[in-house]
Structure 1
Amino acid sequence: MTVWDRPEPRFRAAPLGRERIIAAAIALADDGGLEAVSLRKVAARLDARPMRLYGYISTKEELFDLMVDEVHAEILPEERPGDWREVLRVRAHRTRQAALRHEWLADLLGGRPALGPNALAVAEATLAALDGLADIDTVMRAVETVSAYTTGAIRREVADLRAERATGLSKREWQRAFGPHVSRMLATGRFPALAKAVHDGTEPDAATSFATGLDWVLDAVATRLTPPPV
């Protein structure tokens, strides 16, 4: 039985409620990452004994599942966007925005599907927008492709933010610090393609890079969803 199917216990004392437990866990994770979350720490934040939480949640993994589903409520748009492309674009951008508010989400994205009610609502809205455009297997691969790009780009961006905090150096400062080493390596002539990228390429900000890559992925997906001309 999943945590969503299991009824909440009834205590004589004032009930904690899963909503309060989830809110406390998310607050801890927002402040200190997933390593800051444990049933003991959540209980302490709620001024309760840890054993009381086990009536609501059996494991830390269940708690993480509940946290992820709570954030999916932020990903689900209030109004349905236009066509399938806009639906996938909005989902990707709202997922990125949620991950920037809750960086720990990047560690839990991907893998097996999230099965909470909010996550299922996001999946339903996504698949409904693509219904009838192609056979279901093609539609599923299209959604998986966009999701894979979104997850990878988010994890890269969050990793960069974490590195900045860990080193105390912004990305620009880090590049300047390692610039002499890179220049010496490129001067050997062993890396001409890389040298061209470094000297001639531009470096957009994270939001622009995400949006551009997403558009390219959607363009590729469109070729699979759009029937060829007769």
Structure 2
Amino acid sequence: MSDLIWDRPEPPSRPALAPLSRERIVRAAIALADEHGLEAVSLRKVAAALDAGPMRLYGYLATKQELLDLLVDAVYAEIRPVGDDWQSLLRSHARQLRAAARRHEWLADLLGGRPQLGPNAMASGEAVLAGLAELDLDAVMPVMAAVTAYVTGAVRREIAELRAERSTGMDERQWQAATGPYLRRIFASGRFPALEKVVRDAVHLTADETFELGLDYVIDGIAARNVRR
């Protein structure tokens, strides 16, 4: 039997002033992370939020990493992609993953790396992979990885911008006004003509428009590779 948290049963319940379960622990940890960020999530702080001693939590999980794994898997319960074909299914997956990361900003810091093995993550992955059955089998995982990598990069950039707004107190329009004189001086030097043309003449898209256009590029590129069986 493996030592993964998904394989370990919870300890038997017992009378206590503050009954515990992995579900209650995860809900408390998500509430902390949503309000204060991942830095606020520790076994000690979660135990305090549950009015329990930190040592009691070790009956339910062994490390903080296991707690983070449980948090990510809980969010994957919110991601259930649907679609009539492989392209619409991938779009649904991408949009739902982005929406979940916008609801839980800390998720952006935990995306990527090794595959998530929790039941909700695997159910979400199964829904996508089942819808990709019409693709060449060897293309399925690279296609999934390409779309997930795009979403991960996009949401990390968006979250970083939101955090910058909060830390500086300036929204995008205010930041542009503050940096405008500097950019005009730099562009006047003639050293960055391509950058100047893009900044001055290109259409400035919203975050939603930028995400959707980038997703179009990714999925259209995949389709152009003729990855179907």
The TM-score normalised by the length of structure 1 is: 0.95
Partners in 1 of 2:62 and 2:228 — Cα distance?
48
Please report how far the alpha carbon of residue 173 of structure 1 lies from its aligned counterpart in structure 2 after TM superposition.
0.7
Of 120, 131, 139, 1:118 maps to: 120
Partners in 1 of 2:89 and 2:191 — Cα distance?
45
Partners in 1 of 2:176 and 2:199 — Cα distance?
11
Please report how far the alpha carbon of residue 137 of structure 1 lies from its aligned counterpart in structure 2 after TM superposition.
2.3
| Correspondence for 2:66 | 62
| Correspondence for 1:36 | 40
Answer whether contact 2:150 2:215 (CA < 8 A) is retained.
yes
Supply the RMSD in Å over aligned alpha carbons.
1.3
Please report how far the alpha carbon of residue 10 of structure 1 lies from its aligned counterpart in structure 2 after TM superposition.
1.7
Partners in 1 of 2:138 and 2:194 — Cα distance?
38
C-alpha deviations, 1:35-85, integer Å up to 9, x for none?
0000011111111111100000111100000000000010124xx321111
| Correspondence for 1:137 | 138
| Correspondence for 2:214 | 213
Partners in 2 of 1:67 and 1:31 — Cα distance?
14
Please report how far the alpha carbon of residue 11 of structure 1 lies from its aligned counterpart in structure 2 after TM superposition.
4.2
- SS of equivalent residue, structure 1 residue 57: coil
Partners in 2 of 1:74 and 1:60 — Cα distance?
22
C-alpha deviations, 1:122-144, integer Å up to 9, x for none?
1111111111321x221111111
- SS of equivalent residue, structure 2 residue 139: helix
1:20 and 1:225, CA in 2 relative to 1: closer, same or farther beyond 3 A?
Answer: farther
Partners in 2 of 1:13 and 1:61 — Cα distance?
28
Answer whether contact 1:76 1:118 (CA < 8 A) is retained.
no
Letter in 2 for 1:38: S
Moved more, 14-23 or 61-70: 14-23
Moved more, 29-38 or 200-209: 200-209
| Correspondence for 1:179 | 180
Letter in 2 for 1:68: V
| Correspondence for 1:150 | 151
Letter in 1 for 2:119: P
- SS of equivalent residue, structure 2 residue 205: coil
Letter in 2 for 1:2: L
Partners in 1 of 2:140 and 2:210 — Cα distance?
25
Partners in 1 of 2:119 and 2:159 — Cα distance?
26
Answer whether contact 1:21 1:42 (CA < 8 A) is retained.
yes
Partners in 1 of 2:14 and 2:27 — Cα distance?
22
Answer whether contact 1:164 1:171 (CA < 8 A) is retained.
yes
Answer whether contact 2:139 2:227 (CA < 8 A) is retained.
no
Alignment of 1:1-12 (within 5 A): 1-12=3-14
Of 25, 33, 42, 1:21 maps to: 25
Letter in 1 for 2:61: I
The unaligned stretches of length 5 or more in structure 2 are none
Please report how far the alpha carbon of residue 22 of structure 1 lies from its aligned counterpart in structure 2 after TM superposition.
0.3
Between the aligned residues of both structures, percent identity stands at 60
Letter in 2 for 1:9: P
Of 120, 125, 128, 2:130 maps to: 128
Moved more, 170-179 or 154-163: 170-179
Letter in 2 for 1:19: E
Aligned positions, number: 225
The unaligned stretches of length 5 or more in structure 1 are none
